[in-house]
Amino acid sequence: MTRANGRRVGDGSASGGDAVGWATVEAEVPEFAAAVRERFGLYRHHVLATLRKDGAPRLTGLEADFRHGELWLGMMAGSRKVLDLRRDPRFGLHVNPGPGADLAGGDIRVSGRAVEVTEPGLKARYAAEAKPPEPFHLFRALLTEVVRTSVEAPFMKLEIWRPGRPLRTIRRTSEDPEVLDA
C-alpha cells in the first residue's frame, strides 16, 4: 500500500523492509534532507540504475524532481528504464557529480522502489508544474536508503539514513578504514 503523505510502506517484497516517501526523510532528518535536496538541485539530470530483464544493471540519465513531499522520477514514454521499473521496481539514483567531481556539497545516492503514478489528476498536476516533455511516465520514489559522502579533512564522511533508524555517521581514513554494513 502506497500513501502520498510519505508514511511507511511495507510490501514484503524481496527488496526488503519498509520504504518511505521523501516527506518522511524531511521529517526525521531535516538538516540531512535539506543537504541532499540542495545537492540534487545543482543539476537537472542524474544517473538512474535499474535492473534489466537478465538481472544486469542498466544506468541511464534521468530528471529527478522534489515536489509536494515526494521525490519524482520522470521518464520518456516507452523507455527501457520504464520497462525495467515495471518489472522490478528497485532502483538506485546517483546525483550528477558535476564538472571536476570534487564532492563539493557531497556525493549523494538514494535507493528504493519506484511506484508508477497512474492517477490522471496527479500526473496532470505534476505536468502543469514541471512541464516535462510529453508524453512521459512518472514514478514516485519510495526510499529504503539515502547516503551522503563528503570530505571532512582528514576524513571521508559517510552519512547513512534508513527508515526507522537514526542517521548514522561514519568517518574513515585510509589508515583506519571501517567496514560498512550492507
What tens digit of pLDDT does each residue of 124-152 get? Answer: 999 999 999 899 999 999 999 999 999 88
pTM: 0.85
Model confidence band, residue 178 (pLDDT cutoffs 50, 70, 90): low
- pLDDT band with cut points at 50, 70 and 90 for residue 105: confident
- The CB density around residue 177, as the number of other CB atoms within 10 Å, is 10
Residues 57 and 111: their CA atoms lie apart, in Å, by 14
Distance CA 133, CA 80 (A): 17
Outline where the chain has alpha helix (H).
Answer: 22-28, 30-41, 80-87, 120-130
Whole-Å CA distances, 66 to 63, 116, 139:
10, 16, 12
The predicted model gives 90-111 an average pLDDT of 86
**Gap between the Cα atoms of 89 and 56, Å rounded:** 14
CA distance 52 to 19: 22
CATH of domain 20-172: 2.30.110.10
pLDDT over 60 at 164, yes or no: yes
Q: Is 91 exposed, middle or buried (0-12, 13-18, 19+ CB in 10 A)?
A: buried
Q: pLDDT > 90: what percent of the chain?
A: 71
For the chain, the structural domain boundaries read: 20-172
Q: Is 50 exposed, middle or buried (0-12, 13-18, 19+ CB in 10 A)?
A: buried
pLDDT value at residue 174 = 74
pLDDT at residue 11, as a whole number: 39
Percent of the chain at pLDDT > 70 equals: 85
Look-up: residue for cell 505536468? 127
Query: Mind listing the pLDDT tens digit for each residue in 11-27?
Result: 333 334 589 999 999 99
